[in-house]
Structure 1
Amino acid sequence: MSVQNRFPDDYDPSSLRAIVTPSAFARQNLFYVQEAGHIRLLKSHAGLQRSSLDSYLIVQVAAGSGVLHYGGRDYPLGAGQCFWVDCRRPHGYRSAPHDPWELRWVHFNGRSAPGFYQLFGDDCPVFTPADSAAVARRLDAVLRAAQRWDTPAELNASAEIAALLAEIVTHKARAADPGALTARRLDEVRDYLIEHCTEELTLDGVAAQFYISKYYLARSFKRRYGETIIGCVNSARLDAAKQLLRYTDLTLGEIAAQCGFKEQSYFTRRFKEAEGQTATAYRRAWRGK
C-alpha cells in the first residue's frame, strides 16, 4: 500500500513523496521501502530532527546546498553529494538559508540492511558518488515503484536498493584507499586461490607470488570480496569437497586430504559450519541414498 503526500507552499508543486506499507513477504525477504521522494524547496526552512527511527536513509542532493547533523558533527552538503545514515541515531538535515535544495531520498530497511551499513561504516556518512546520474536513476526507479506498490514493484525496488548499496559500499572502499589494488588484479589473485585451493597456501606465499605486500593484499582483498583470503580458500575447498561427496565413493578422510584440509576433523567441522549439516548427511541427501 502506498500513499502520496501533498506538501506545504514552500515546496515546488512537482515535489512527490510516497509512504509505503511493505508486505509481509517484503519484510521477511527483501530490502523494503518505507518512504521515497523527490522534493524541490522554493524557500529554505528549519529542516528535520529525528532519532530512534527503525530505518536507514539515503539522500542525494540534486541541487542547492545544506548541512547534515549526525554523530555529533555537522557535514556541509552540496549538489551531487549524498549521505547514508542509521536513523536509530539522532540525525537532522536542513537546507542552506539562501540556497534551497532539491533532494531525492529513500527510507528503507530489511534483514540485510544492517550488514550493508556495517560495510559502509559509520565514520563519515557523506560521500560523492562516482556516477551521480546513476544514483539519481536508481532513486527515481525506487520512487516509481513506490508509487505503484505491488509485488513486482517491491521486487524491483529491492533490486534497485541492493544495486545502489553495492555501488555505494564499493565506491567508499575505493575512495578510502585510492591506491588499492585494481579489481582486475584482485580477480587474478582470487582465480589463483580457487585454482590452487587444494594446495598448501599461505598469505605470505600468495603475496610473494603476485609481488604484493601481504598486508596490502589482505586489506584490499577483504574490501573487494567481503571475506579473507583464507575464507576464500576454504570456500573453494568446500566446493571441491561437494563434488567428491556427490560423485565419488571416497571416504571423508580421503576427500579432506584431496581438497587441501590437513585433518578430517577440521574438514568436517568447517563443512557443518558452512552447510548446517554433516558431510555424510549432505552426501546422502544429494545421492538419494
Structure 2
Amino acid sequence: MNIDHCSYSSHTDGYHDLRRNGFNHFLIRVQIEGRGKATIQSKTYQLEQGSIIFVPPGTHYELTIEPNQLSGDYHLLVTGDWLEDWWEKLDCPDFAALSSTDTIVTLWRLLSTEKLRPSHEQNHDLNTHLLKSIMLMIETEINARHSIQRPFIVTRMMRYIEEHALERLTLEDVANEVDLSVSRASHLFKDHTDKTMIQYAQHIKLEAAINQMKYTNMTLEQIAFTCGFGNYPYFHRLFTREYQMSPSQYRKIN
C-alpha cells in the first residue's frame, strides 16, 4: 500500500474540482469544518463537519465549495489492495457521517506531518499503521451506526461528552456541538440513553477515576481533580452513591 498524498486544505473564496475520469488513486476526504458539495458518479452529497467520502480510482468526482463559504478538510490519495479490500468489506460506501472527528483528525494530522518529511527520513511502517488506524476507526463508527438504533445526533453528543468529560463541560457545550437548544438536546439524550447528559459525564469520570485508583499512586484528591470532579468531597459523594463504598474502601480491596 502506498500513501501518495496526505494533506489539509482550507478554502474561503470558493473552489471547484472536476475529475470526469476520476483519480488514479483512491481518494478519502473528511470535512472538518464548514460545508461543501461532492458528486460521486451520479450521486450528490452535502458535506458538513464529520462527512467523509470514498472515491475509488477511475470514478467520476466533482467537489464544489461555494464562494464565501468556509471549508476545511483532510484528504488522502492511496494506491494498493489493502484499502480497496477494506472498502469492499464495508459494502463500498461513497459517503459516511462521523459523530466526531477529533481523534481521527489527530491521527490524520500526524500522518500529514510525517508525509512532509523527505521520503528517506519517513517511517513508512508508521505511516501505514497510522492510515490503518484511521480506517479502522472509521469502520468502527460505520458499523456502530448500523447496529445501534438511536439518532445519529445522540451518538454525536455521546462522543463529545466522552472526549470532554474530564474537562470543564456544560450542557451548553454539548448542545452547541450539535446545534440544538439545551432543552431539546437534553430531552433527546435522555430519551435514547436513559441517562441525562450529566449522569453520562459522571459515569465517564467515575470510570476514569477507577482506572487511576487501580493503576497509579495518585492520591484520591489528585484523582478527583484530574478526573474532572473539581474537589474530593464531590468525588466521594458520587462514588459512594454509585458503588456503595467510599473511594478509599474501593482502593483497599482492588
Smaller-chain TM-score range? 0.5 to 0.7
1:98 aligned partner: 68
TM norm structure 2: 0.53
Query: Aligned residue for 1:73?
Result: 43
- RMSD of the TM alignment (CA)? 2.1
Name the residue aligned to 1:145.
114
Shift of 1:151: 6.3
In structure 2, how many angstroms separate the alpha carbons of the residues matched to 1:51 and 1:134? Answer: 33
Q: Which residue of 1 aligns with 2:94?
A: 125
Structure 2 Cα separation of the partners of residues 177 and 146 of structure 1: 35
Q: 1:146 to 1:34 in 2, by over 3 A?
A: same
Deviation at 1:119, TM superposition (A): 1.4
AA at the equivalent of 1:134: T
Q: Give the SS at the match of 1:43.
A: coil
Which residue in the other structure is 2:126 paired with?
156
Cα distance in 1 between the residues matched to 2:22 and 2:53: 18
Counterpart in the other structure of 1:135: 104
1:60, distance to aligned residue in structure 2 (A) = 1.4
Task: For residue 105 of structure 2, give the secondary structure of its aligned residue in structure 1.
Answer: helix
Distance in 2 (CA, whole Å) between partners of 1:83 and 1:76 is 11
Equivalent-residue separation in structure 1 for 2:120 and 2:99 (angstroms): 32
Aligned pairs, number = 149
Gaps of 5+ in 2: 151-254
Which string of whole-angstrom CA distances, capped at 9 and with x for unpartnered residues, describes residues 231-273 of structure 1?
Answer: xxxxxxxxxxxxxxxxxxxxxxxxxxxxxxxxxxxxxxxxxxx
Q: Is the 8 A contact 2:27 2:77 kept in 1?
A: yes
CA contact (8 A) 1:32 1:154 kept: no
Counterpart-to-counterpart distance in 1, 2:72 and 2:34: 6
Displacement of 1:50 in angstroms is 4.4
CA distance in 1, matches of 2:120, 2:133: 20
Tell whether the 8 Å contact from 1:80 to 1:132 is kept in structure 2 after alignment. yes
User: Normalising by the residue count of structure 1, what TM-score does the alignment of the two structures yield?
Assistant: 0.47
Report deviation, 1:174.
2.0
Cα 1:153/1:50, change in 2 over 3 Å = farther
Alignment partner of 2:30 out of 60, 68, 81: 60
Report sequence identity in percent.
Answer: 10
Structure 1 residue runs of 5 or longer lacking an equivalent are 1-30, 181-289
Q: Which amino acid aligns with 1:101?
A: S
Residue from 71, 85, 98 that aligns with 2:55: 85
Q: How far 1:94 moved relative to its partner?
A: 1.7
